[in-house]
Amino acid sequence: MADTVKIDYKNIFYPPGGILMWIVIYLELVTFGIALVFMALNARAEPEMFHESRLLLNTAYGAINTIFLLSSGWCMAQSVYFLKKGNFSKSKLFLNLTILGGFLFLALKSVEYYDKVEVGLTIGYNDFFGYYWMLTLFHVVHVIVGIVILALSARTLRKKPETLKIEDYQSGATFWHMCDLIWLLLFPIIYLLF
Amino acid sequence: MEWTFNITWLVLIVLTIISAVFANLDFAYVAIIILGLSFLKFIGVAFFFMELKKANVFWRVLLVAFLGLLLTVVWAV
């Protein structure tokens, strides 16, 4: 199936994952980017409050979640690679591992959120935690949507793998990697910078 | 197994650990180092996992330019 499809990625209209997905990615990055710039501007106005608030975050949770997402992204890339080779069983294995990585991320994020809520560090606590909750929750929504997309791909891969189009599969994979990209901006700026 | 992905993953994990270690140090260039490492990790995911390296130069330049601009602005303010 997949080896018969030759996509000219060098064509400006056919980036890997599809042009529509890349337009979505740029819009998402700009949206998160603007919020992060405003966060940095607020931090400039109140540097001590931002620093003290940042120290209330658990850097280890953030770093472990980064490792979960990067490992999940690695599995996704392998899954696409094996699908292109027509090896459905390995593609399915790596896709399931990708989804597992997403669930591990959400589980640790839930623990982190529980810890914060328990001590009263909610969205209204101060400006820093306002940004923290808005940006990380918005990212969590993306991760959940990504898991749903991957679960649908996994269903097709399990039941009718021959009907799965590599372009569609790669679009779903690209969305999942976008969750990595957004987190790679959020983690250093929110957890480490201020 | 695609070895380019394996090497990319290993580099990304090492860079993440280095970022976390640097964040606990207190010296003048911590912010720029953290943002620089973030830049490298972002490029690693986009160019290798997402295979953007195979895309038209327009998409590659656009992503690098956006990222460079964003991190510079965050650092400068």
Count how many residues are written for chain A. 194
Cβ-defined contact of A12 to B70 (cutoff 8 Å): no
**Chain B residues within an 8 Å CB radius of A17:** 50
**Chain A residues within an 8 Å CB radius of B77:** 37, 40-41, 44
Give the nearest chain A residue to B2 (CA atoms).
Answer: A78
Largest interatomic CA distance in chain B: 43
What distance in Å separates residue B12's CA from the closest CA in chain A?
7
Of A15, A41, A66, the CB nearest to B16: A66
Of A162 and B60, the structure prediction assigns the larger pLDDT to B60
| Of the options 3.40.190.10, 1.10.3720.10, 3.40.50.300, 1.20.120.80, the CATH number for the domain spanning A13-37+58-193 | 1.20.120.80
The distance of Cα A23 from the centroid of its chain, to the nearest Å, equals 16
- Give the up-direction half-sphere exposure of residue A15: CA atoms within 13 A in the CB hemisphere: 25
The CA dihedral of A103, A104, A107, A113, to the nearest 10 degrees, is -110
B20 touches chain A (CB under 8 A): yes
Q: Note the pLDDT of residue A11.
A: 86
Q: Do residues A69 and A101 make contact, with C-beta atoms less than 8 angstroms apart?
A: yes
How many domains, in total, are found in chain B?
Answer: 1
How far apart, in Å, are the Cα atoms of B48 and each of A29, A49, A93, B21, B61?
A: 18, 38, 20, 25, 15
The distance of Cα A177 from the centroid of its chain, to the nearest Å, equals 6
Q: Note the pLDDT of residue A17.
A: 87
pLDDT at B29 over 90: no
Q: Note the pLDDT of residue B1.
A: 64
Q: Do residues A61 and A126 make contact, with C-beta atoms less than 8 angstroms apart?
A: no
pLDDT band for B49, please (50, 70, 90 cuts). very high
Give the nearest chain B residue to A51 (CA atoms).
Answer: B23
Q: Taking Cα atoms as reference points, which of B27, B62, B45, B6 lies closest to residue A187?
A: B45
pLDDT at B74 over 80: yes
What distance in Å separates residue A10's CA from the closest CA in chain B?
4
B65 touches chain A (CB under 8 A): no
What distance in Å separates residue B61's CA from the closest CA in chain A?
12
pLDDT beneath 50, residues of chain A: 2-4
Rounded to a whole number, what is the distance in angstroms from the first to the last CA of chain B?
43
Domain with B55 in it: 3-76
Q: Note the pLDDT of residue A2.
A: 47
- Alpha-carbon gap, residue A44 to A50, rounded angstroms: 9
Contacts of A127 (CB under 8 A, 6+ apart): A42, A46, A49, A50
pLDDT at B56 over 70: yes
